[in-house]
Structure 1
Amino acid sequence: MSLFWRIFALNAVVLGIATALLLWAPVTVSVPVVLTEAVILVAGLVVMLVANAALLRIGLAPLDRLTRLMTTVDLLRPGQRLPEQGRGETAELIRTFNAMVERLEHERATSSARVLVGQEAERRRIAQELHDEVGQSMTAILLVLKRAADDADEPLRGELRQVQEITRGSLDEVRRLVRRLRPDVLEDLGLISALTSLTTGFATHAGLRVVRRFDSGLPALDQQTELVLYRVAQEALTNAARHAEAGLVEVSLHHTDGTITLAVVDDGRGTGAVREGAGIRGMRERALLIGATLDVTSQPHAGTQVRLTVPVPRKQP
């Protein structure tokens, strides 16, 4: 039965009951209206309106649920669906909406994968140019400054030594940027070594204490999954350094039956309500790329926790 006929039938039932009561009930209306008759008529009207409202609420409840989901659905949190029950226009609308959301989630995942792959390629290109062009040029400048300082007299020698130190510091910063843009250690030594190097460098430059808790004997992961885990940890540490006002950050990597969980927890000020800026949404897009689940929780004065749960395919016997 279509939505139109369901609503029509509900109203017909209410009006039919009211007509039957008027026809067969021993109730008459006097002129002028007696108070008792007026009370009975008003009570009957109220009963009809309440019954009609209740029946319409029941009939339109699926549309209300659909409207609420349409206003809150987020393609970065896949799996939000309404139960498909019954037949008719409402059920068909719900099925069509679920199919549309599923298609949009697939298209979003595909487009995000292309964007992230292109982003990593661009990171590698920039890192290569920084290493080959800027790094080598600054190394050559250091050699020239050294020769000039060795041949110069005071006070020029001291000034050249100072320029040397500034240039050496700039070269170290370029090398640090190269490591952030292209984590070679991830490809060469694996995820644990890459996370260890990342947290060590973070503790050195951010001035925070970092505690690592990594399980041994992690299952083998594909290159894309390891890169997502590394980038999420990198972004979570960056957020902790910039916004958390923390003194301690704990980075853990645990393996349970069928999942690997990365957690980055700080003891900062927390916010209560998590504001999802570009950083968190970027982490969600990366999680979506490998079918993982990202949870970000923050409590006032109790820190923030970023948890990435990655499903691990079981080995076939």
Structure 2
Amino acid sequence: MSLYWRIFLLNAAVLVVAVLLLFGPVTVSTPVLFGEALVLLCGLVAMLVANAVLLRIGLAPLQRLTRAMATADLLRPGRRPRVTGRGEIAELTETFNSMLDRLETERATSSGRVLSALEAERHRIARELHDEVGQTLTAVLLQLKHAADRVPEPVRADLRQAQETTRAGLDEIGRIARRLRPGVLEELGLHSALRSLVAEFTTPRLGVSAHITPGLPALTPATELVLYRVAQEGLTNAARHAGATRVALHLRPRPGGGVVLLVHDDGRGVGAAPEGAGIQGMRERALLIGAELSIAPGAAGGTDVRLTVAPTDTAAHTHTDTGENAR
């Protein structure tokens, strides 16, 4: 029965009962007596209450669907409103769930294309920084050294300072290129890449430690890249925004298969601040391999960034890496 007819028949039943009461024990005289007015008023209140209760029961599934629509988030997949009963509301709920399935699939596919293009652009920029800007600065450094060996002593000190400034700029370009294109990940693997990342973020003000459990399962290159980028973003947030003094990076096998990456800091915590582009990017990368990302306060304070990769994710998304390598 459609929602329209259910509401109509419920209201009709209440009104029919009220009319039968008027033909039965309840009568109205002219002028209306106080007792009769009181009975009619009580009857009206009873009809309104009964109508409100019946409508509340009948429209409860629609309210649940409305809340699900308002809270739907494609970056947090898997949440679906429960389908109850039969009729138009149940059909509407099933249609909404099917729409979410399609949108999540399309979002994951489009995110994969965007992230693949982003990685290709990172590689191009890193290559140009290394090949073009790096070589130019190297040539400038050699020219400064050549000039410093042939000028008087007062000018030589200035040229030596220019050499140091150029050398510092060359080192900074190298660091930027390594962040854009993790060559160590491709050449030495995930373990060495994460330890190199930890060493890069370690400073006198920020202590970063890596705890990588031996015996990790085999991971696809796409999964390793996502793990590296999430770790990189988690360390970046801890260093720039959390006000942390200690950060611990854990990578361990997951019971039943898969792996878990955890980046814990002792900073001020996430609070009620809205998620920025960095966290949104981590969620999109997690969707790319079907992993689950959670960002929550730590048990002892600070923030826990946890990426859980299921065992099926390491094999089911091999085609994603193939597409990235082809690009």
TM-score, with structure 2 as normaliser: 0.91
Partner of 2:12: 12
Q: Is 1:224 equivalent to 2:227 in the alignment?
A: no
Task: Identify unmatched segments of 5+ residues in structure 1.
Answer: none
- In 1, the alpha carbon distance for the partners of 2:143 and 2:208 equals 39
Are the equivalent residues in 2 in contact too, given 1:271–1:299 (CA < 8 A)?
Answer: no
Q: 2:208 aligns with which of 204, 207, 210?
A: 210
Opposite residue 206 of structure 2, the aligned amino acid is L
Q: Which stretch shows the higher mean deviation, 156-165 or 58-67?
A: 58-67
Partner of 1:192: 191
Query: What does 1:125-204 correspond to in 2, within 5 Å?
Result: 125-204=124-203
Are the equivalent residues in 2 in contact too, given 1:270–1:301 (CA < 8 A)?
Answer: no
- In 2, the alpha carbon distance for the partners of 1:212 and 1:30 equals 89
Give how far 1:80 is off: 1.9
Are the equivalent residues in 2 in contact too, given 1:142–1:168 (CA < 8 A)?
Answer: yes
Give how far 1:195 is off: 0.5
Partner of 2:101: 102
SS at match of 1:309: strand
In structure 2, the CA distance between the partners of 1:118 and 1:268, relative to structure 1 (3 Å rule), is: same
- In 2, the alpha carbon distance for the partners of 1:133 and 1:240 equals 32
SS at match of 2:149: helix
Give how far 1:21 is off: 2.2
- In 1, the alpha carbon distance for the partners of 2:270 and 2:283 equals 19
Identity %, equivalent residues: 63
Are the equivalent residues in 1 in contact too, given 2:289–2:313 (CA < 8 A)?
Answer: no
SS at match of 1:273: coil
In structure 2, the CA distance between the partners of 1:314 and 1:145, relative to structure 1 (3 Å rule), is: closer
Are the equivalent residues in 1 in contact too, given 2:292–2:308 (CA < 8 A)?
Answer: yes
Partner of 1:2: 2
Q: Which stretch shows the higher mean deviation, 119-128 or 9-18?
A: 9-18
Are the equivalent residues in 1 in contact too, given 2:210–2:249 (CA < 8 A)?
Answer: yes
Q: How well do the aligned residues superpose, as a CA RMSD in angstroms?
A: 1.9
Q: Is 1:237 equivalent to 2:227 in the alignment?
A: no
- In 1, the alpha carbon distance for the partners of 2:19 and 2:248 equals 73
- In 2, the alpha carbon distance for the partners of 1:36 and 1:211 equals 83
Matched residue count = 314
Are the equivalent residues in 2 in contact too, given 1:295–1:306 (CA < 8 A)?
Answer: yes
SS at match of 2:306: strand
Partner of 1:60: 59
Q: 1:249 aligns with which of 242, 247, 250?
A: 247
Partner of 2:309: 310
- In 2, the alpha carbon distance for the partners of 1:177 and 1:314 equals 30
In structure 2, the CA distance between the partners of 1:315 and 1:194, relative to structure 1 (3 Å rule), is: closer
Q: Which stretch shows the higher mean deviation, 75-84 or 153-162?
A: 75-84
Partner of 1:27: 26
Task: Identify unmatched segments of 5+ residues in structure 2.
Answer: 316-327
Opposite residue 224 of structure 1, the aligned amino acid is A
Give how far 1:315 is off: 10
Opposite residue 304 of structure 1, the aligned amino acid is T
Q: Which stretch shows the higher mean deviation, 271-280 or 287-296?
A: 271-280
- In 1, the alpha carbon distance for the partners of 2:85 and 2:299 equals 45
Are the equivalent residues in 1 in contact too, given 2:286–2:292 (CA < 8 A)?
Answer: yes
- In 1, the alpha carbon distance for the partners of 2:81 and 2:95 equals 11
